[in-house]
Every structure is written in C-alpha cells, then in structure tokens.
Amino acid sequence: MRPALLLGLLLPLAGCLAPPPLEPLDDATRALLVEATGRAAWVDLPGLVLEGEAELNGRAETLRLTVLPDGSFRREVSGPLGSIEVFDGQRAWRRDRSGLGRELHLGEREDAPLVVALSTGRWLEDSSLVVEVIAPDHLRVTRPGTPLDFELLLDPVTKLPHQVHDRSASGTSIATFSDWRVVAGVPFAFDVDVDGAGGGMRSFRLQHGRALDAASAKDPGLLAPPIEPPVGVHFDGDGEVEVFRARSGHLFVRPRLDGQDVGWFLFDSGAGAMVLDSSIAADLPEVGRVLAVGVGASQSTRFVSAPSFGLGPLSWDDAILLELDLSFLEELLGVPVAGIVGYELFGRAVLDLEAGPRPTSPGDLDGDGEPDPAPILARGGRLGIHAPGTFAAPAEATFARLIFEAHAPCVEASFPTSDGPVTRWFRLDTGANGSVTFHSPAVVKHRLLSNRDTRLAAFGGIGGKGSGYLAELEWFELGGRRFESFEATFATTEVGTFSDPYTAGNIGQELLEPFRILFDYPRDRIALMPR
C-alpha cells in the first residue's frame, strides 16, 4: 500500500471490475450532502485545528492536523517514523520517516487532497471528480483521465462518509469513519480505522478540536513545504567507492553499519527503503512495523534503528532500516546479500554511477578445453559520492526532470503502441536486471500484447512472485537514446509493484548499461550520459 495522506487512508482504486452504467449524482442529492457536511459553516471559519493520536507502524504517536476552508492542510505525526504533509490547494509535499522532504507526484499527489476533502466535504466542490450512484448511499468516485476510482459508502442517517473501499497495488483495503463530532459548526470524523490490504491495521483517534485563529491561518509557515535538508548527514569531502557486479548484472557496494563492514549491499535505486537482512538486524532495536509491498505481494516486517550508516565519504546518524529476510537473493544472484542501499542514501547525496561490464570468463585456466565460468562477482565500476551543496556537474551533463512515486525515481521514456508513440513515466531501477517491464495497467491500456509473439514469464522479489509475458518490443527511447528491437516483459499480475497504474513500467540494468548516471535527488533531476 502506498504511504497514505491525512489519517493514513488510501483512496485510489486500481483495476476494479467495470460496473454497469451508473446514474450521475443529481443536484438535489448533491445539495443534501453539502448541507450534511456543514460546508456553509466554513464561510466565516479561518480553519480547524485537530489533535489526537495516530497508531501507525506499531506505534502510538501524537497527531496534529490544521485544515483551511479551501481544503489546504498541514498534518504532523511525531516520532521516529513520523511525517509532515502539506497541501497548499495545488501542490502537495511530504517529509516522511526517511528524513527527506519532497513534492508529491502521480498517485501520491492524487491522494493528497482527497482524504482531507472527504473529512470536510470539500470533495463535493471538486469539479474534476465524477460522482455516480451505485445504490442509495453507495457512490463511485472517479477522476477521468487518471486511475483514481474508489467506492464511498455514506451513513444512511447522517449522509456523512462511513467507509471507503479501495483496491490498490497491495490488494483491497477498507477505511471506516466514525465518531463524527461537530467542531466550530463543522462535522469531523474523530475515529478512523484502516483495515489495510494484506492485513495492515491503522487507527486514528482525535481527542479535541477547535477553530483556528485568523492570525495563525495567515502564517506563511503553516503551508510551507517541509523540504529542509536532512539532518545528521556528514561528508568527509567528495569521494568514490568501487562497485562490484554480479553475473546477473546487479551492482554491489560495501557500506558501513555503525562503522563496521557487514557485507555486500545491493545498490538499488528501485528500493524504497534501506534494507538490512534479518540475520544482521536481529540485534538492532525495533522502532516500528510496516507492510512492505513487493513484486508479487506484501510482507509484514520491522523498522530497526542503527547508530550510523555510511558509504565512502558519506555517513548519517540514527539510520532507520527495514528488516527483511534476503536469503533468497543469494540463491538468485550467487552473492550473500547483507542489505540493500536504497532511497535514503540516494536522497542524501549526488551519486555518479559508472558501472562496468558484467563478469566474463577468464579463459580456459584449467586447460580442459572449455571456457571457465565467469566469477560470481567482479570489480564492476565506480560510484562517486558528493555533497549536494558543493557538487558541480560535469559540462557534458544534460539533466532531465526526476519525480518520485512511493520513493521510486521516475523518468520519462517513449515506446510504440498501436495508436502511435506514447511518452509515460517509468521507474528507474538499478536493482532490476532486465530491460523494461511494463506494468499490467499499461499493458491493458495500450494493448501492448496485441499482435505479438509471446512466451510466459515469471519474476520474483520481496513479497512473492509475479507473472507476465516476454515479447519483442520494436523500440524504446530513454535519455536521448533509442533502443531497437529487444525483448521486454509485459506484466499481467494484479498485485505488487508491477500493478502500479500511475507509472507505465520499470527500467532495468540492460537499458541502463550504456549510460553514466548522475542521480541528483536533492535537486529532483537526473543525467543519463552516453558512455
């Protein structure tokens, strides 16, 4: 499940069964719902301040929510896994447990205003939403041209939201609104329970609320984006580390955990968290729990805290890592994997990756007349690590916009369809050893399996296995380079990361090998430089 916004709810509904033709919400019913939500009381109200407790990631933390009449808001959850989320009426930002703050895009941006809008009645004033009637007090809400699609059940007496039914990449979840109380003339749900996809549970208990005073409502800091640089980050100048490469193409480095070398870490831009193998994480203190979404399913696991984490000249204090059993990767890659370097490290530096070739056979050293097998792991390139404030890009670097979906970096790329070339956002994944894998919603939307010779494909990862087809793709354009006639994967799985409807697919190592890559997360940009 993607990280949720206000009160941790998820709203986008992807891949639901097409319902029969529905009747649009008529003006009389809409007016009745507007009256029930107390929208008229907002006219002379500067805003609301609501405080209580959020039970998230196995922890009970302090929750403070400030909402303005136009639907803009600031939500703060305390604690080591806490977050700050801001929506200014047009744009949304989040600073989450990673300590990194950035603007939200794609599905996360779609979620941002809707959860608050449902709590305040603002959703009824959003002209971009289409509301249809499935049955009395049972509505379908969509935003044409986007994957947004959810079912809303209203309380038959109060006509206020009672349940949101959502089907996301993780499965189905149900959020229940209850204990509606009137604050300054406005009804607000003081209890919200989320029965998350895959079994995750979250609860929110507001305890009191009051009207926001006019001066506080005008404070420019209220809706200021929470994008300050992360704290506790240290650089011993600029530097680089050696990158090792497996026969599979995967890249490995050897970072430091509390000053100690603990083994090989997969260098993976597609990893939404720093990951530590269970055998190493077992002795570290737990700071919370989470439902991790993987390729094929979801998996419940712990967040643990380490005094420090470092790679080359970079280190940061009080690192939070996700504990997972990575033993299956050794069987797949031939390398004992101690952890995964993911989003948090990428976001704290400018990383200059120049990967070398995959390991090759050293020849026939044993004299048996056959080439000896390639080594499992060999020196395979370099990774420059630079402090964001002092980094000077090389003259030949041409940067493109980089956005994020659930901590995954996304770039624009183009590909052919039966209706002509299409440009979409793709996840950039140095931890994937294939070429490009199209997500199942994109496969359906663009009819990508039509008129292709295919063969079955299966792929695995954290959380289970996925399925799809292999077939030849005529061409693909990425970073100014056109790749001609190569084998791509077309996912058909309905859960996991490859069912994400907001990105078209996942770009792996085979298409990234020709590039020297500059990951500049702090400036939301990336350079793909041909080598």
Query: What does the pLDDT read at residue 200?
Result: 63
Degrees, nearest 5: CA angle 389-391-395: 145
Q: How far apart are CA 524 and CA 383, in angstroms?
A: 19
Closest by Cα among 178, 369, 174, 197 to 292: 197
Phi-psi region of 137 (alpha: psi -120 to 50; beta: other; left: phi over 0): left
Cβ(412)–Cβ(400) under 8 Å?
yes
**Could you tell me which residues come within 8 angstroms of residue 203 by beta carbon, excluding any fewer than 6 positions away?**
54, 55, 191, 192, 193, 194
| Coil/strand/helix, residue 6 | helix
Query: Quick check: 70 pLDDT over 70?
Result: yes
If you search the block for the tokens 């930002």, which residue do you land on?
A: 93
Cβ(102)–Cβ(124) under 8 Å?
no
Cβ(48)–Cβ(122) under 8 Å?
no
pLDDT in tens, 137-155: 999 999 998 888 899 999 9
Task: Report, as an integer, the average pLDDT of 458-478.
Answer: 80
Query: What does the pLDDT read at residue 358?
Result: 77
Residue 463's pLDDT band, with cuts at 50, 70 and 90, is very low
CATH number of 399-530: 2.40.70.10
pLDDT in tens, 478-520: 988 999 999 999 999 887 788 889 999 999 989 998 899 999 9
% of the chain residues with pLDDT over 70: 89
Q: How far apart are CA 221 and CA 210, in angstroms?
A: 20
Q: How far apart are CA 350 and CA 344, in angstroms?
A: 12
Q: How far apart are CA 440 and CA 531, in angstroms?
A: 32
Taking the CB of residue 153, how many other CB atoms lie within 10 A of it?
A: 18
Query: Quick check: 3 pLDDT over 50?
Result: no
Query: What does the pLDDT read at residue 193?
Result: 87
Cβ(42)–Cβ(18) under 8 Å?
no
Q: Please tell me the pTM assigned to this model.
A: 0.88
Name the average pLDDT for the chain: 88
pLDDT in tens, 260-282: 999 999 999 999 899 999 999 99
Taking the CB of residue 259, how many other CB atoms lie within 10 A of it?
A: 10
User: Which of 144-153, 154-163, 201-210, 466-475 is modeled with the greatest confidence?
Assistant: 154-163
- Domain layout of the chain by residue ranges: 6-217, 233-386, 399-530
Task: Report, as an integer, the average pLDDT of 314-326.
Answer: 94
Select the more confidently predicted residue: 296 or 229: 229
Task: Report, as an integer, the average pLDDT of 315-321.
Answer: 94
Which whole-number Å values give the CA distances from 327 to 195, 251, 277, 323, 332, in the listed order? 30, 17, 8, 12, 9
Cβ(52)–Cβ(208) under 8 Å?
yes
Query: What does the pLDDT read at residue 289?
Result: 82
Work out whether strand 403-405 and strand 455-461 pair parallel, antiparallel, or are unpaired.
unpaired
Cβ(265)–Cβ(164) under 8 Å?
no
Cβ(385)–Cβ(311) under 8 Å?
yes
Q: How far apart are CA 237 and CA 312, in angstroms?
A: 10
Least confident of 166-170, 311-315, 466-470: 166-170
Query: Quick check: 290 pLDDT over 50?
Result: yes
Cβ(442)–Cβ(430) under 8 Å?
no
* Domain 6-217 shares a fold with domain 233-386: no
Q: How far apart are CA 502 and CA 426, in angstroms?
A: 9
Query: What does the pLDDT read at residue 18?
Result: 52
Burial (0-12, 13-18, 19+ Cβ within 10 Å), 22: middle
Q: How far apart are CA 203 and CA 178, in angstroms?
A: 11
**Residues β-bridged to residue 164:** 152, 175
Residue 295's pLDDT band, with cuts at 50, 70 and 90, is very low
pLDDT in tens, 91-127: 999 999 899 999 999 989 988 888 788 889 999 999 9
Burial (0-12, 13-18, 19+ Cβ within 10 Å), 85: buried
Work out whether strand 337-341 and strand 264-267 pair parallel, antiparallel, or are unpaired.
parallel
Query: Quick check: 294 pLDDT over 80?
Result: no
Q: Residue 432 gets which letter from DSSP?
A: -
pLDDT in tens, 358-398: 777 666 566 676 776 777 888 878 999 999 988 999 998 99
Q: Name the fold adopted by 233-386.
A: Cathepsin D, subunit A; domain 1 (2.40.70)
CATH number of 6-217: 2.50.20.10
Least confident of 321-330, 451-460, 487-496: 451-460
Select the more confidently predicted residue: 298 or 63: 63
Query: What does the pLDDT read at residue 130?
Result: 95
Query: Quick check: 462 pLDDT over 70?
Result: no
